Structure 1
Amino acid sequence: MPFRRKIVVLSGAGISAESGLRTFRDSNGLWENYRVEDVATPEAWARNPDLVLEFYNQRRKQALDAQPNAGHRALKRLEEFFDVTIITQNVDNLHEKAGSSNVIHLHGELFKSRSTRDETLVYDVEGWELKRGDRCEKGSQLRPHIVWFGEAVPLMETAVEIVHEADILIIVGTSMVVYPAAGLIDFARPGVSIYVVDPNVPDIRPRKSLTFIPEPATTGLSRLAEQLISTNATDGV
């Protein structure tokens, strides 16, 4: 098999927003009209699990109808020419719907649940509803398979290793202010080409290999993908 350069993509809420999903805080500090502290923390789950379950049920129901946009499809197209890994902060499955085959969800997955007794027991959610009384094989209540505020990010070390292997790093739809995910850029090797696609330029330390594309994911990623594919063909890789 011919050598393929490795592209690593860090994606955030902006790419999902273009498919109609708001997956993080809006400008008013709310998430779909809920305080994040009331629906996305371990304390919220302990205090009112029914509210948390309903919140994610509604997000799941909304996501069922959402479709990938041109940005998602552009990343899928890159797989024809490059070794592509997507590290996403998003909990929806739009990258998978678009056909991307190697997606790491740093903050969990909306369409999965996990045991409250044994976090290694993870299950697919059938349809969109997870209810009180849905239990794991050990008899404990299932919770959304989401990394809540105040919880560790289990796949962070894996993500660090993958970013360090990148030949090209693409950052799309993320403000780069949510840690630890925002720190992943610092693990890119010196000289690696970094592209940031976002209409609002994030506060990222300038470096020679950094290129800003101040466009939405739908147009910016499509243009970047064609540019990378064209350059790849010219280089004869």
Structure 2
Amino acid sequence: MKISADLQAFQKRLGHEFSQPELLVRALTHSSISSPTRPDNQRLEFLGDRVLGLTMAEALFEADKTASEGQLAPRFNALVRKEACADVARQIDLGAVLKLGRSEMMSGGRRKEALLGDAMEAVIAAIYRDAGFDVAKKVVRKLWGKRVDQVEEDARDPKTALQEWAQARGQKPPKYAELSRKGPDHAPVFTIEVTLESGEAEQAEANSKRQAEQAAAKALLKRLEAKLEAKKNG
């Protein structure tokens, strides 16, 4: 099967050249454009999720030989969640080669986090089916890169951590307020502000309320922790 120049370029960004390119085509085919003769990527997505899971579990198990199950679990979740998969998909510009129906294209499907994350998992499965687990693992480890080393910070849920910070100091839970929403319906940008009872506040923008809340909480935590550190050193 001959593939387009776009897919050839994508293979280079991905780091794997398919001996069975039809697997790659299927991994990139969304249900909005599927047909009896053109299957979508949902079955591959199911398999890719498991390949990714085993790869990340093994990486974490080897990286920290003293970590308990309770420490490994949140790190694992941070590495395999849909946001992480979508982030890697954006890194290799997977959205540019997604095969979508007209309605999905018109609604910004190439930028949607869920579609990107699902397709990334499907592509991992396609590599596994094409060349086996060792090759798939190697590609995944390369694509995820420093995320494995930096996962301790990513594994923290900023909203939970900020709430615990406030409660430990006798304050009420943080309040989140939507300050604005801009952009088209298919690609909105939310601005969220988080405020503590003490008056400390921080704002953040993201493509979903949840992400904006998490980002605002993370920014505020970082500032509060820097303040505490400065007091200690002062």
- Fold agreement, TM-score > 0.5: no
TM-score (norm 2): 0.23
Specify the structure having the higher radius of gyration (Cα). Answer: 2
| Structure with larger RCO (C-alpha < 8 A, sep 6+) | 1
Which has a greater percent of helix?
2
